């Protein structure tokens, strides 16, 4: 199998795993909220979710602007995402006495054991959890609006060449917000810093992964078929992004959010048109 095919296979597997996990925990938390006595009103939850999302996006974009001398800040933000997201994932499965211990174990493995595998494992939990938290507290319309805005921003960033600069800053800091995709399976057991310095890995950003989960989580109160259509659309967008990447090898950075967001939204609209 060619390197490009293996890279796509690894990306597809990690992406699909995160989507399945995110959809599952969003629906589990919604179920618990419906039967529990602590559920907030939907309107209040959606308002809070929108505010939190805006704050996080603004903070993320601000940090990207100033982070070239703030490596510690990036690492701290990555740790927070891992901890919050992992805790939300584990809590969905109702382990009363083990939630904290399991969360600590996963976060510790992702931060203390510096391999590509442990990093990607931590990001699966972190991105799935944080995206589910935010998406479950907003309407589908708000989620779609955020996806469209970020798609425009991503396209503009890559077109201006800023993506190269931001990517280098992330690699230098060692705090990669997303998946590190090696060309061979043995690359998953390589040290994270060596894999990044070698320049032979593909980086798939957290927004590329998390934005479709905003929409799948926003429709958690709808039949499961909604999340399935969106997820299939997101995976189609991932394929398109990979095809664009390998057709333009001279540019190591491709705007992945536009195709992923577009096909995710299209999947949801197709579900509505078909009347499922």
Helix 140-160 × helix 162-173 angle, to 10°: 100
Residue 67 belongs to a domain? yes
Residue 272 belongs to a domain? no
- d(Cα 140, Cα 239) in Å, to the nearest integer? 24
User: Tens of pLDDT along 200-228?
Assistant: 788 888 889 999 999 999 998 899 999 99
Residue 56 belongs to a domain? yes
Residues 6+ apart with CB under 8 A from 198: none
pLDDT confidence band for 99 (50 / 70 / 90): confident
Q: Which of these, 210, 244, 243, lies nearest to 18 by C-alpha position?
A: 210
CA 231 and chain centroid, separation: 13
Residue 255 belongs to a domain? no
pLDDT of residue 68: 46
Which has more confidence, 158 or 231? 231
Helix 3-35 × helix 224-247 angle, to 10°: 160
Residues 6+ apart with CB under 8 A from 224: 23, 27
Q: Which of 14-23, 87-96, 138-147 has the lowest mean pLDDT?
A: 87-96
Residue 243 belongs to a domain? no
Residue 247 belongs to a domain? no
Percent of the chain with pLDDT over 90: 37
Looking at residue 191, what DSSP letter applies? B
Torsional sign, CA 169, 115, 135, 20: positive
pLDDT of residue 29: 78
Range of the domain at 196: 3-34+41-220
Residue 260 belongs to a domain? no
Looking at residue 254, what DSSP letter applies? -
- d(Cα 258, Cα 275) in Å, to the nearest integer? 26
Q: What are phi and psi of 267, to 5 degrees?
A: -60, -40
Q: How many domains does the chain have?
A: 1
Number of other residues whose CB lies within 10 A of the CB of residue 275: 5
- Judge whether 169 and 68 are in contact, CB under 8 Å: yes
Reading phi first (left if > 0) and then psi (alpha if -120 to 50, else beta), residue 253 is in: beta
- Global pTM exceeds 0.85: no
pLDDT confidence band for 113 (50 / 70 / 90): confident
Residue 264: pLDDT over 60: yes
The number of CA neighbours under 13 Å toward the Cβ of 186 is: 1
pLDDT of residue 88: 86
Map residue 3 onto helix, strand or coil: helix
Residue 121 belongs to a domain? yes
User: What is the residue-averaged pLDDT of the chain?
Assistant: 81
Map residue 189 onto helix, strand or coil: helix
User: Tens of pLDDT along 34-57?
Assistant: 655 444 444 444 444 445 545 555
């Amino acid at each position: 199998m060619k390197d490009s095919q293996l890279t796509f296979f690894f990306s597809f597997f990690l992406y699909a795993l995160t989507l399945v996990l995110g959809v599952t925990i969003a629906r589990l938390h919604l179920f618990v909220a419906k039967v529990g006595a602590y559920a907030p009103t939907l309107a209040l939850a959606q308002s809070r979710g929108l505010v939190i999302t805006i704050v996080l996006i603004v903070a993320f974009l601000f940090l990207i602007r100033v982070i070239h001398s703030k490596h510690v800040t990036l690492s701290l933000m990555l740790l927070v995402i891992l901890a919050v997201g992992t805790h939300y994932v584990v809590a969905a499965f109702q382990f009363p006495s083990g939630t904290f211990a399991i969360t600590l174990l996963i976060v510790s493995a992702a931060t203390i054991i510096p391999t590509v595998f442990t990093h990607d494992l931590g990001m699966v939990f972190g991105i799935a959890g944080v995206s589910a938290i935010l998406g479950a507290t907003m309407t589908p319309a708000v989620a779609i609006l955020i996806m469209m805005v970020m798609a425009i921003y991503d396209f503009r960033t890559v077109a201006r060449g800023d993506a190269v600069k931001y990517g280098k800053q992330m690699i230098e800091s060692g705090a990669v917000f997303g998946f590190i995709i090696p060309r061979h399976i043995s690359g998953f057991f390589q040290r994270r810093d060596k894999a990044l310095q070698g320049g032979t890995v593909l980086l798939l950003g957290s927004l590329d992964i998390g934005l479709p989960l905003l929409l799948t989580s926003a429709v958690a109160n709808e039949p499961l078929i909604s999340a399935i259509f969106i997820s299939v659309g997101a995976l189609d967008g991932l394929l398109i992004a990979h095809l664009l990447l390998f057709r333009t090898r001279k540019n190591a950075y491709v705007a992945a959010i536009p195709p992923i967001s577009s096909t995710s939204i299209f999947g949801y609209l197709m579900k509505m048109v078909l009347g499922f």
